[in-house]
Structure 1
Amino acid sequence: MKQQINTVSASLNGIRSSPRKMRLVVDLIRNKNIQKALEILTYSSKKRISFYLKKLLFSLLSNWKKEYDESNVTNLYIKKIIVNQGKTLKRLRPVPQGRGHRIRKRSSNVVVFLEKKKEI
C-alpha cells in the first residue's frame, strides 16, 4: 500500500528585511491552519513583513490547487516554514576623522511547506 504525501512548497528570496525580524512574524503562523495564518497576517499589519508573507501564502495555495486540483482548503496547515539569511549589502557610513563604518543591510529567504491534515 503506497502512501501519498500531500505536500507543496513555495519560496520567497531576497526580502529586504533581516532574518531576525522575519522570524518574529513567522513564529506567529508556524503550525497553524492556512486560514488562521492569513487572518493573523492581516491583523499584524504593523510589521511590513506580513504583507510579503501573505503574498507567499496565496502563492502556496495556488501551488496546492495546481498540484491537487482541490478547492477545499479547510484542512491545510503550514507544516514547516524556514527563514534563512540571504545576500547582505555592505555600505559605508562616514564618521568623524575621515573614517567609515560598515553598515550591513541584510535580506532573507523564506521557504514554506503546506500539508493536508490526516483525518483520523
Structure 2
Amino acid sequence: MIKKRKKKSYTSVYALGQYISMSAHKARRVIDQIRGRSYEEALMILELMPYRGCYPIFKLVYSAAANARHNKGFKETNLVISKAAVNQGNTVKKLKPRARGRSYPIKRSTCHITIVLEDISFYQQYEEYLMYLKKPGCSNENRNLTCYDTYSSGGLWDKK
C-alpha cells in the first residue's frame, strides 16, 4: 500500500479523533450536515442536532479551531470546514453471557474522524488584490510581485 504524503499547507489545520465508539455510518450522517460550512455555523448545527454522534464531532471541530488559533494564529470567524472524513476503525468483539452456559457475540464498532479547517481570509485578500489590478487606474508598474528579500541573499546569485 502506498501512503500519500501530506502537503504542508499554510492555510489549513486539522484534528483527528481515533477509535470513537460509534459506527461510521452514523457518524457520516452527522458529518454530511456540517461539511463546507463555517466554523460557527457548524457548532450551532451540532448543538441542535438530536443525535448521539454530535458530541464527539462537536469536540473535534472545537479542537481543530483551537489548533488553528494556537498553532497558526487564525481567527475563528474566517474558518471553514473544508474536509470532513469518517473512516471505519476496529471492531471490538465481546461475549455476553446468557442462560444455560451459552453466550452471544457483541460487536462494538469504532470509527476515525478527521476534520480539516481552512482559513478563507487568505483567498479573500487575494481576490481583493485581483479586483484592484482590474481597476482602470492601475498600471503595469504596480503588478511586480517579486520579493527582493528572497533573491538578494548575497553570494553567486547577485552577480548574475
TM-score range, shorter chain: 0.7 to 0.9
Which has more helix, going by share of residues?
Answer: 2
**What stretches of structure 2 of length at least 5 have no aligned partner?**
1-8, 128-160
The separation in 1 between residues aligned to 2:76 and 2:100, in whole angstroms, is 61
Whole-angstrom CA distance in 2 between matches of 1:93 and 1:17: 19
Alignment partners' CA distance in 2, 1:37 and 1:100:
43
**What is the aligned partner in structure 1 of residue 131 from structure 2?**
none
The CA distance in 1 between the partners of 2:34 and 2:40, in whole Å, is 10
Structure 1 position 95, deviation (Å): 7.3
- Which residue does 2:156 correspond to in 1? none
Q: State the AA in 1 paired with 2:40.
A: Q
- Tell me which protein shows more strand as a share of its residues: 1
Larger radius of gyration: 2
Runs of 5+ unmatched residues, structure 1? none
Q: 1:28 aligns with which of 25, 33, 37?
A: 33
Q: Which structure has more RCO (C-alpha within 8 Å, separation ≥ 6)?
A: 1
1:62 to 66, 69, 74: 66
Q: Report how far residue 86 of structure 1 moved.
A: 1.1
Aligned to 2:76: 73
Alignment-mate amino acid for residue 115 of structure 2 = V
Secondary structure of the equivalent of 2:22?
Answer: coil
| TM-score of the pair, normalised by structure 1 | 0.84
> Aligned equivalents of 1:68 and 1:105: distance in 2?
37
Hey, what does 2:107 align to over in structure 1? 104
Partner of 1:83: 86
Query: Which residue of the partner structure matches residue 132 of structure 2?
Result: none
Per-residue CA distance 1:71-116 (angstroms, 9 max, x = gap): x222210110110111111123567997655332101110111101
The Cα RMSD (Å) is 2.0
